Amino acid sequence: MSRGPEPVALAVQELGAGPPVLVLHGLLGQGRNWASLAKPLAARRRILLVDLRNHGRSPHRPEMSYPAMAADLAALLDRLGLARASFLGHSMGGKAAMALACTAPDRVDRLVVVDVAPVDYGPRPDFEAYLRAMSAIDPARFARRAEVEAALAEVAPDPRNRAFLASNLDSRDGRLAWLPNLGALLAALPALAGFPADLPPAPSGLPVLAIRGGRSDYVRPDHEPAFRRLFPALRLETVTEAGHWVHADAPGAVLALLEGFLPGAELSRIVLT
């Protein structure tokens, strides 16, 4: 009998108390990308900002797939002593959460998917260019993060994108280094752009909220059948003024949707330690 992917011990940052919500970032992101939204959510919830494998402070492994990430998340729940939790995932993190909801639905209380669909997006030349450019740069040769950002200007002319890529820098023994496993991510890019085609549908009663950016093409009308095949109880909301980084473009609108969907403790019952 074949064994599934070997899980890794994911790095996680916790805020607040109450019903647990695991927050999952996108490709080349980190849990801390959601820190500004996590703070208000944590007033009534236990928010867990997760670094997925090969990202942030989590371990590096050659395997980078949605089944592997789902196994990591189930192992994290075990480590935290949680039978189940709600999940909020953006882009790649949304796909990882969907994979867990389809393969281990007993571990998922509610699911929020932000600006991604359970489909194969095909080649991603933008992320391939980012990963290759980052791999070609030895950050230890630079004294300051701004210098690394400047070196990325050709592949990422938008200052916002450059800052996002440079957020993956870490200082180790006084020298800059990349946090993500760039080689593993580049090798896995086709799988990450895709989505497993053989997943069973989630239970019809699983509450699922999909939030799309009105200025993003990641979730199109022709993606809705794929969504509803896996998640019959899907509720789809559009944040008109936002692009793919919906939570950064329109944090107030996203927070309002999350507050109305995610479980929350009564404020009078919360005791912060």
Q: CB count, 10 Å around CB of 194?
A: 17
Residue 5 lies in a domain: no
The average pLDDT across 106-116 equals: 98
CA distance 254 to 239: 8
**Same domain membership, residue 171 and residue 257:** no
* Percent of the chain residues topping a pLDDT of 70: 96
Cβ within 8 Å of residue 7, ≥6 positions away: 68, 71, 72, 74, 75
**Same domain membership, residue 214 and residue 175:** no
Query: Are 267 and 43 spatial neighbours (Cβ–Cβ below 8 Å)?
Result: yes
User: Whose structure tokens read 């950064």?
Assistant: 248
Residue 192 lies in a domain: no
**Same domain membership, residue 168 and residue 43:** no
> Mean pLDDT across the chain, nearest whole number?
95
The average pLDDT across 184-193 equals: 98
Q: What is the pLDDT of residue 271?
A: 44
The pLDDT of residue 12 is above 50: yes
Query: Are 28 and 130 spatial neighbours (Cβ–Cβ below 8 Å)?
Result: yes
The average pLDDT across 101-107 equals: 97
Q: What is the pLDDT of residue 270?
A: 45
**Same domain membership, residue 265 and residue 136:** no
Domain count, the chain: 2
pTM for the whole structure: 0.95
